[in-house]
Chain A
Amino acid sequence: MNKIYTRTKTIQEDKVSGFCPGCMHSTVMKLIGEALEELNVVDKASCVLGIGCCGLQMDYMAYDNTTAPHGRACAVATGIKRTNPDSLVFTYQGDGDFASIGLAESMSAANRGENITVIFINNGIYGMTGGQLAPTTLIGMKASTAPKGRIAEEHGYPMHMCEILNQLTAPYYLERTSCNNPANVAKTKNAIKKAFQNQLDGKGFSMVEIVTGCPTNWGMDPLKSLEFIEEKMLPEFPLGVIRDRSKEA
């Protein structure tokens, strides 16, 4: 019998994930590992983790990693990549990290066209700190610091990072995906592979924004959170390729 699927070696075998049930960090971590293996670049991988639940995986991943101060991952990645162009340097950041405290670092790295890859996890909430309002929290969605839900007049509107970065000239590839069903998981993996390949080809800044759930802080069971993604998150954050310079003449 042929073995057609096996666990990625980029996750340590003896470790048990500490992610909550229904959390998609573990899914994305697996996809990144598979992408690295399929591109045969595990030994070049240099991962810069953001602060928050993102950082939980530092104990599980088997390849090189560091943790940036909150929001600074794109700056740290810039320093690594500029001095080690042969490394495959990617950041792994949540919405608070990438789109709030790190907005200047994120925008500026994208604007410089740094030849790095950003894996941006958008679940509309601060996870590790306990469900506070995020820049991507939906209108009406409750948060521990917005007990009446996000109110536009008070909190403004959800930020669409792919579309914001699309205003810049330098970024090479911007795609938004999700992991709420098997088809979207497959698309996410393809997007990650493409974003890594862009870097290997020296194309510049690529970002994959992945719309995920946070059952714990959304106050839902995992299945309900999948429905919430489909019904509420994706209409606000439509999936698809926002920018792909390889398709331009």
Chain B
Amino acid sequence: MARVFMKGTEAIAEAAVRAGCRFFAGYPITPQNEVPEYMSRRLPEVGGVFVQGESEVASVNMVYGAASAGTRAMTSSSSPGISLKSEGISYCAAARIPMVYANFARGGPGVGSIQPAQMDYLQATKASGNGGFRMPVLAPATVQEAVDLTVLAFDWADRDRTPVLLLADGVIGTMMEPVQLPEAKTDEEVAAIKESKKSWACIGHPLDYAHRAWIQPGNWSTLVMQQVNEEAAAMYKSWQKEAKVEEYKTEDAEIILTAYGICGRIAKSAVNLLRAEGIKAGLVRPITVFPFPYAAYDRIDYSKVKAILDVEMSIPALFVEDVDAAVKGRAPIETCLCSGGNIMSREAVIKAAKKVVEG
């Protein structure tokens, strides 16, 4: 398939459509407005449905409805709007509804800034709503990776009947890059996916208690509820083996940069420039931030490493908490941070790395 030049938001939307997404509901918020705009003209072309919800709260619940009735469905937003969606996400997780949502993160807290940031890390990976649920959180570093992860998100959501979060940021969403789009699912393939969910979809079944669709985000029985929690916990644990990570020039590294999303890409570029100057730098870039790729940090040769440099667009540092849990004290952890909507500069990363190495 030919490469096309696309903006991140629109590339993700197109990838979703090609992955079989046939319902999208969303509400305007910067910097992700191109997603609902794109979907509003694209989905009708493939027999899908777009609804502009009256709020993020309504939009995510429309997705809850469409997905509980068997359709591949998606919503997107940016940080403050993601908070509003957390109610619906928790319900989807509880009721085991497969759905995908994307966060084009911006500065926070509060209304914060409309420019890119990575300040929703803990919300995305630890508590995206009430009730202690987890879900796969995929963090692309390029528009191409965003496209690929969008397809993975829908497959993962359906396989395990779980929400999946695409944790992007304002940079990934607004930059244009050449991308190779996936093959579009045919109408027959999309119909087959929906058909495969018919047994549990809340669309009407012959009158028979044993066969009714019963999609419930809770239970009146505390014993049943605990069982539901235990089954979910086992599933979350099973995801650990599916953690995805990019490890770049780590074998002989004296300094390991670690970052996710757009900062991972900036850090990778810094690694190349540091290497050109004779500094043995490496990178560990989690692609799934949940499940977190702890094993990649175990593979680091700590006898050679002076420090781990955590690079993130968040003050205070948030991603560093998972890094700390992964490094387990085997090396000191330094940080290179910016926030408020300021984009991490490669020069700042290089400077911070040199300071660590050269002391």
Contacts and interface: CB of A to CB of B under 8 A. Distances in A.
Nearest to A12: B209
B338 interface: no
A230 interface: no
B203 A79 contact: no
B61 A88 contact: no
B172 to A, nearest CB: 27
Contacts of B185: none
Given A46-B203, A62-B207, A87-B203, A104 B69 contact: no
B68 A66 contact: yes
A71 to B, nearest CB: 8
A65 interface: yes
Interface string A51-90: 0000010110111111111001001111111111011100
Interface string A103-138: 011011000000000000000000000000000000
B123 interface: no
Interface in B285-331: none
Given A72-B88, A78-B51, A108-B58, A43 B212 contact: no
A83 B20 CA distance: 13
A63 B203 CA distance: 10
Give the interface residue-count category, chain B: 35 or more
A221 to B, nearest CB: 26
B127 interface: no
Given A79-B64, A83-B66, A64 B88 contact: no
Interface string A30-59: 000000000001111110100000001011
B202 A64 contact: yes
B62 A79 contact: yes
Contacts of B218: 67
Contact of A68 (B53, B61, B66, B70): B61
Contact of B204 (A58, A67, A76, A87): A87
Interface of B: 22-23, 25, 49, 51, 53-55, 57-59, 61-71, 73, 87-88, 91, 95, 201-209, 212-218, 220
Given A63-B212, A78-B62, A84 B69 contact: yes
Contact of B68 (A42, A80, A108): A80
Interface of A: 9-10, 12, 41-46, 48, 56, 58-59, 61-69, 72, 75-84, 86-88, 104-105, 107-108
Contact of B58 (A9, A10, A75): A75
9 shortest interchain CB distances as A-B pairs: A79-B65, A79-B66, A75-B61, A76-B65, A108-B54, A79-B62, A44-B204, A72-B61, A66-B215
A215 B3 CA distance: 67
B23 A82 contact: yes
A72 B64 CA distance: 10
A142 B63 CA distance: 39
Contacts of A58: 214, 216, 220
A44 B204 CA distance: 4
Contacts of A88: 204
Given A66-B202, A69-B88, A79 B61 contact: yes
A13 to B, nearest CB: 9
Contacts of B58: 72, 75, 104-105, 108
Nearest to B215: A66
A65 B212 contact: yes
A108 B203 CA distance: 22
Contacts of A68: 61, 64-65, 91
Nearest to B213: A64
Given A58-B216, A68-B91, A82-B23, 11 more contacts: A59-B220, A62-B208, A62-B209, A67-B95, A75-B61, A76-B65, A79-B66, A79-B67, A83-B71, A83-B73, A108-B58
A42 B66 contact: no
Given A67-B217, A78-B65, A105-B61, A43 B25 contact: no
Given A66-B95, A69-B88, A80-B202, A46 B214 contact: no
Given A64-B213, A72-B61, A105-B61, A43 B23 contact: no
A64 B206 CA distance: 9
